[in-house]
Every structure is written in C-alpha cells, then in structure tokens.
Amino acid sequence: MGVQVYFAVFGALIGATIAELLIIGQPLAAAVIVGSIIILAGMKAVLIALFYQHLKDEPRPLASLLLAGLVLAVILTTISFLQVH
C-alpha cells in the first residue's frame, strides 16, 4: 500500500475533525449535534482501525470481530449520550 493511501486517510480524518468543530457552532438541536459528532467519531475510529492499525490486512474473522466490538462501543456510547440529553 502506497503512502498516498495513508495521506488520503489522514486527509479524511482531518476533514471529519473540521466537520465536528463546525457542527458544534451550529444552532441545531442537541440530539442532532451529538448524533452527528458520534457518527463522525465512529467513522474516524473505523478508519484508524482499518488503516493505521492494519486491520484490513488481518484475516476476515479477526477483523470482523474487532470491528463488531468497535461498532458495539459506538452504539453504547450513543445510547448513553442520548440518555443524558
């Protein structure tokens, strides 16, 4: 895998972080802001796990198990944030 892929993923992570910062300042409902930030954070976590922790090169069952745990963590975090608001 070339360096260009890592730079593209890094650019996507920077873009998602900028989007999170821009969403914070918008006059939206709290649930929309929290939901958007959680979705962006989940996307960033998946990109980091796949590319920088090299899960995409692991055997499918192992990568699926780890990504399922990550998805479950995002779901549980979303539920807890929505209960707070």
pLDDT of res. 68: 85
Residues contacting 49, CB < 8 A, separation 6+: 55, 66, 67, 70
pLDDT tens-digit readout, 18-75: 999 999 989 999 888 988 998 898 899 889 988 887 777 778 888 788 778 878 887 8
Beta carbons of 33 and 73 less than 8 angstroms apart:
no
Q: What is the pTM of this model?
A: 0.73
d(CA 29, CA 44): 23
CA pair distance 75, 36, nearest whole angstrom: 13
